[in-house]
Amino acid sequence: MFRNALQSVCRSHRPLLLGSGLVLVWLTTTAMHIPDGFLSPLVALFFWGVTIIAVAYALSRVRVELTERQVPLMGVLAAVIFAGQMLNFSVAGGTSGHLLGAALAVILLGPWPALLVMTCVVSVQALIFQDGGLLALGANIFNMGIIGVFVAWGVYRLVCRLTPDARWSRLLAGFLAAWSSIEIAALVAALQLALSGTSPANISIPAMGGIHALIGLGEGVITLGALSFLMAVRPGLVSGKGPEKTESSLVWVGGLMIAVLLAILSPLASAHPDGLEWVAEQTGFLGAAQGSFYTILPDYVVPGISNGALATILAGVMGVVIVLGAAFLVSRIRKTPTSG
């Protein structure tokens, strides 16, 4: 699958090996948190809608099944995942691997509380630490919370079903669940960037997919280590079924289907970037607000060049006036002391 994608990159009439390399460098320094400005408003708002619906549903499920002690439990575990993301280990050459935590959360808490926990973690990262944008927050929660949690859950349950009830099978399930959660979430992020017109699909998908295949190994091993430790210290915490008593197969089968679908869809999209562009235009994804997929500027700048330049100069002057005005105001306020 990956080889086909790579071949299509080389074959396409816009070869971009340099671009891919740069994207790879970028990817190792950032996680999956997409900042503002990289997703088109329509894509961002669409994923906000999906996320709100999913989180609302998770809340209703959790309220029904919630025991009182789960509120402090979710809060503290959210803090653990947040703090755990600080833990790192050095991979060769100065880059480092980090923990995302969606897989661990879902194995310990079950899918719906885990979704809420990841929602809180990702939201605070965006709001307080600017790790991911605010408009893009819906998409980020979707990637790391919804996709991360449900893909991990689906894979975990599947592997547990297919293997005998033993310690090694839990560890294997945890490893695979963690790896898949990272990989699929990365593919979704790449698709979002492609649909927004920020990063061409035939680069973003192989690049994101490739790099996160490696990062996913790190997540997998850390998850494996954590599970191994937890099973030794608190055997009751980790079971093949998860903490929910009434298990709906729909949930984990659904997660699995999403994973498979995305795994197939992404290389297709990357092999046929024009196809993706066609789809995007047909569904009007990048409608009036942005013009067509790739070309915007020529109509705007060239014929109206004098207007454009004038407008920009005027804006600059106004901007300077605004800034100076603020500075002046501040200095006036400071010079007249109102309190002792």
Partner 1 sequence: MHAHLFDPYFSGASPVHACDSRIKLALVLVFILCVALAPVGAWAALVLYFATSLAAIILSGIPLLKILRRSVIALPFALAALPLVFTTDGVPWISIPLGPWMLSPTAEGFLRFLAIAGKSWISVQAALLLSATTPFPDLLLALRAFHVPQLLVSVIGLMWRYLFVLADEAIRLMRARDSRSGIEPGRRPGGGVLWRARVTGGMAGSLFIRGFDRADRVYAAMLARGYDGETRALPAPPLTPGQYTVLTAGGTWMVMILLLAILIR
Q: How far is the CB of 260 from partner 1 (least distance, A)?
A: 26
Q: How far is CA 32 from the centre of its chain?
A: 5
Q: Does 17 bind partner 1 (CB under 8 A)?
A: yes
Closer by beta carbon to partner 1, 58 or else 259: 58
- Report residue 100 as tokens: 């995302």
Candidate ranges 51-59, 180-188, 243-251, 263-271; the one touching partner 1 (CB under 8 A): 51-59
Give the closest residue to 118 by CA, choosing from 132, 156, 39, 205: 132
Interface with partner 1 in residues 207-236 (CB under 8 A): 218, 221-230, 233-234
When binding is defined by CB under 8 A, the residue of 193, 269, 271, 280 that contacts partner 1 is 193
Return the range that interacts with partner 1 (CB under 8 A); candidates 40-48, 143-151, 160-168, 256-264. 40-48
Whole-angstrom distance, CA of residue 106 vs CA of residue 226? 13
65-90 in b/e burial notation, b at 16+ Cβ within 10 A? eeeeebeebbeebbebbbebbeeeee
Nearer to partner 1, 87 or 261 (CB): 87
* 53 touching partner 1, by CB under 8 A: no
User: Which residue from 6, 50, 85, 253 is in contact with partner 1, where contact means CB under 8 A?
Assistant: 85
Cα distance between residue 77 and residue 138, in whole Å: 21
The footprint of partner 1 on residues 229-268 (CB under 8 A) is: 229-230, 233-234, 237
Q: Which of 220, 190, 225 is nearest to 204 (CA)?
A: 190
Q: Which two tokens stand for residue 201?
A: 């699909």
Q: According to CB under 8 A, which residues from 117 to 156 bind partner 1?
A: 117, 119-121, 123-131, 133-135
| Residue 31 within binding range of partner 1, rule CB under 8 A | yes
Q: How far is the CB of 71 from partner 1 (least distance, A)?
A: 6
CB of 66 to partner 1, least distance (A): 8
Spatial CB neighbours of 64, under 8 Å, sequence gap ≥ 6: none
Residue 278 in contact with partner 1, rule: CB under 8 A: no
Backbone region of residue 94 per phi and psi (left: phi > 0; alpha: psi in -120 to 50; beta: other values)? left
Per CB under 8 A, does 57 bind partner 1? no
- Span interacting with partner 1, options 80-88, 151-159, 240-248, 252-260, rule CB under 8 A: 80-88
Instruction: Give 211's contacts (C-beta < 8 A, 6+ positions apart).
Output: 24, 27, 28, 186
